[in-house]
A and B are shown apart, each in its own frame.
Chain A
Amino acid sequence: MYRLIALGVAVFGFLIFPIAAPHAEYALDVLFLMFLYGAMATSWNVLGGFSGQVSFGHAAFLGIGAYATALLAAAGWPLWATFPAGGLLAALYSLLIGPPAFRLRGPYFAIATIGIGEATRLIALNWSSLTGGASGVTLSSAPPAAVQYYVSLGLCAATVGAAAWIKRSRFGYALAAVRSDPDAAETLGVNTTIAKTQALFISAFMLGVAGGAYAMHYLYVSPDSTFGFSTSISVVIMPIIGGIGTIFGPLLGAAIFTALREQLEANPFLAKYSLDLSVFGLLLCGIVLFEPRGLLGIFDRLVRRGAARAPKDSVTQ
């Protein structure tokens, strides 16, 4: 009962925040990023968490979405129309690179995706006639901060909602089968390649749309900022920290990622030594070694331990 109230309060709070606190511009900015990262992390999770295909090159899709928005907006398209266009382009790109990459398993797939991500960045950097090369593309104006916030919030909600729906569907069960044992899944009649390709398609589409929101906010896209390896890494770290394969795990990871990055950026001592790297590195190592289900897994354990104790006490009383 209390949990439902807490959830309701949180949702309501987020919805009215810009209206309730009109002068908290900075908090609005941070929350925008938190929800955007939440959408990005959830998108990756559909492929990496649900179907177990860990990709280190997902920035390619974010970049395509970001550039699509920037270039189409410059050509006169209204902003809202550029988002689905960017998503579609990213999804189409996934159809191109998916099938050959999916012939690889596990770590080999991961390494191939590093290569694919880098190759996409190099193409964007060198295909100047299309992308402007190293100069990047600048958008002329951005919608007001409150509008951006609701776009990001809506995107996050839509992505999480889609993830929840997928997980509970037959498709989701097929993906889970692919994740735990691809060969057994095949014998059960699941076409693993098609399942993985579909998951990638959805993942790429969502990340492409998120890329559009990214461009809308940052107003300037360049090959390094959108296609860079560090972007790919952050999209992997967030779901792993929060809880890979779950619905809310990526969002939790995104919240922590945003808060930590924000605090570390401006603190001169911490920024000088780039301590965010250690924090995420240690979290990653810790999770891999001790609790692969991430922070949600840890909370689950604590909750279970608490629940296991309570009945015992009541029995002895």
Chain B
Amino acid sequence: MQDTLATLISALLAAGLYATMSYGLALIYGVLKVINLANAGVLMLGAYVTWWMWDAFHVDPLLAPIVVLPLFFLFGIVLERVAIRRVIEQEPIVSLLLLFGVWLILQNVAYAIWTGDTRSIETPFVEATFKLGGIQLAWPRVYVFVAGALTLAVLQLFLTKTQFGRAIRAVSQDREAARLAGIDVERIYAVAFGIGIALSAFAGSLLSLLFPFGPDFGGALQLKSFCVVVLGGLDSFVGVAFGAILLSLAEAFGLRWMPASLQNLISFVLLVVVLIAFPKGIAGIIRSLRRV
């Protein structure tokens, strides 16, 4: 019983991590209908900037988001203006390839500035643990979970309660109708992309507390993000949260009887199965159930 509870809690914490990594991807896809294959690169750079501020300037990594969020928001806007804008109207594979090229360049930026050596952040917080009812938990993991939950809440509020947020939702539902309604669609694209990039970089900053990383960080995690977003329904944040929980539960309990080295296989299989069988994801299933 204790054992199952420990597995459940561990899965929940992992779900928080997966969800946080995927919000940026979901936003960018929802609004621009672009698959951000450079997500891993942004994650990686978010982690590097956090580490660098800690290593060179002794800035507490928990404070890093203060710099990371605005910095990458700007980067996202610039990237959208310069490159993405030109390919939005074309078939989706074009933007996919473009962002893949961007990912390669981002990796090189990391190699050039920080070399290929593995980096990790080593502070007392990173090692800290506490006990909750007999189960030992690591502070950083709980912190990531809480940060992810807060992010979800803030995002939902932003999208439903603010003018800008509503405009974003309008564009993601029907861009022509939004244009006719007087919304500056191009501006929405830039801002949404910027927010998406900032979210991914923020996730990277959180990840730097948990794992060591190098310039190729994020590749394997990216596939899990795709799985989560597809599971969740491609354009719903609450869906992303549910998708993350589903994936982490599948992994945690699947590992009971399969070798740990096959863990990533679970997300791949889920991804392909869901893409083929349930393209609208969980949100789609719920919607169609409501109709019935």
A interface residues (Cβ-Cβ under 8 A, vs B): 52, 54, 100-101, 103-104, 106-108, 110-112, 114-116, 118-119, 122-123, 125-126, 229, 240, 272-275, 277-278, 280-285, 288-289, 292
Write out the residue numbers on chain B whose beta carbons fall within 8 Å of the beta carbon of A285.
83, 98, 101-102, 105
Check if B87 sits within 8 Å of A107, measured CB to CB: no
- Which of the segments B64-72, B197-205, B241-249, B258-266 contacts the partner chain? B258-266
The residue from A108, A118, A281 contacting B101, defined by CB atoms under 8 A apart: A281
Given the interface pairs A119-B269, A284-B97, the reply to whether A107 lies near B35 with Cβ below 8 Å is yes
Check if A288 sits within 8 Å of B261, measured CB to CB: no
Check if A288 sits within 8 Å of B97, measured CB to CB: yes
Given the interface pairs A112-B271, A126-B259, A277-B111, the reply to whether A292 lies near B102 with Cβ below 8 Å is no
- Which of the segments B16-24, B88-96, B151-159, B164-172 contacts the partner chain? B88-96
Check if A104 sits within 8 Å of B269, measured CB to CB: no
Which residue, of B97, B105, B269, has the highest number of chain A Cβ atoms within 10 A?
B97
- 10 other A-B residue contacts (CB within 8 Å) besides A111-B226, A274-B107, A281-B104: A106-B91, A116-B272, A118-B264, A275-B108, A280-B101, A285-B98, A285-B105, A288-B97, A289-B86, A289-B87
Q: Does B183 interact with chain A (Cβ within 8 Å)? A: no
Count of B residues near A, CB < 8 Å?
A: 41
What's the nearest-Cβ distance from chain B to residue A170, in Å? 25
Check if B92 sits within 8 Å of A106, measured CB to CB: yes
Nearest first, the 6 closest Cβ-Cβ pairs linking A and B are A281-B104, A284-B101, A281-B105, A285-B101, A278-B108, A277-B108
B interface residues (Cβ-Cβ under 8 A, vs A): 35, 83, 86-87, 91-94, 96-98, 100-105, 107-109, 111-112, 115-116, 215, 219-220, 223, 226, 259, 261-262, 264-265, 268-269, 271-272, 275-276, 279
Check if B101 sits within 8 Å of A273, measured CB to CB: no
The A contact surface, by secondary structure, is helix
Given the interface pairs A116-B272, A122-B264, the reply to whether A274 lies near B116 with Cβ below 8 Å is yes
Check if B268 sits within 8 Å of A118, measured CB to CB: yes
Nearest chain B residue, comparing its CB with the CB of A288: B98
Check if B111 sits within 8 Å of A288, measured CB to CB: no
The residue from B104, B259, B276 contacting A284, defined by CB atoms under 8 A apart: B104
Nearest chain B residue, comparing its CB with the CB of A289: B86
Check if A107 sits within 8 Å of B83, measured CB to CB: no
What's the nearest-Cβ distance from chain A to residue B166, in Å? 27
Check if A288 sits within 8 Å of B94, measured CB to CB: yes
Nearest chain B residue, comparing its CB with the CB of A110: B96
What would 6 A/B residue contacts be, using CB atoms closer than 8 Å? Answer: A104-B276, A112-B276, A274-B108, A278-B105, A288-B98, A289-B87
Check if A100 sits within 8 Å of B96, measured CB to CB: no
Given the interface pairs A119-B269, A280-B104, A284-B97, the reply to whether A111 lies near B111 with Cβ below 8 Å is no
The residue from B35, B92, B107, B269 contacting A277, defined by CB atoms under 8 A apart: B107
Check if B98 sits within 8 Å of A289, measured CB to CB: yes
Nearest chain B residue, comparing its CB with the CB of A103: B276
Check if A273 sits within 8 Å of B98, measured CB to CB: no
Check if A118 sits within 8 Å of B223, measured CB to CB: yes
Nearest chain A residue, comparing its CB with the CB of B258: A126
Write out the residue numbers on chain A whose beta carbons fall within 8 Å of the beta carbon of B259.
126
Complex Cα distance, B111 from A281, in Å, reads: 14
What's the nearest-Cβ distance from chain B to residue A271, in Å? 10
Given the interface pairs A107-B96, A122-B262, the reply to whether A274 lies near B111 with Cβ below 8 Å is yes
Check if A111 sits within 8 Å of B275, measured CB to CB: yes
Complex Cα distance, B144 from A167, in Å, reads: 53
Write out the residue numbers on chain A whose beta carbons fall within 8 Å of the beta carbon of B107.
274, 277, 281
Given the interface pairs A54-B93, A115-B272, A274-B107, the reply to whether A284 lies near B261 with Cβ below 8 Å is no
Nearest chain A residue, comparing its CB with the CB of B101: A284
Check if B102 sits within 8 Å of A281, measured CB to CB: yes
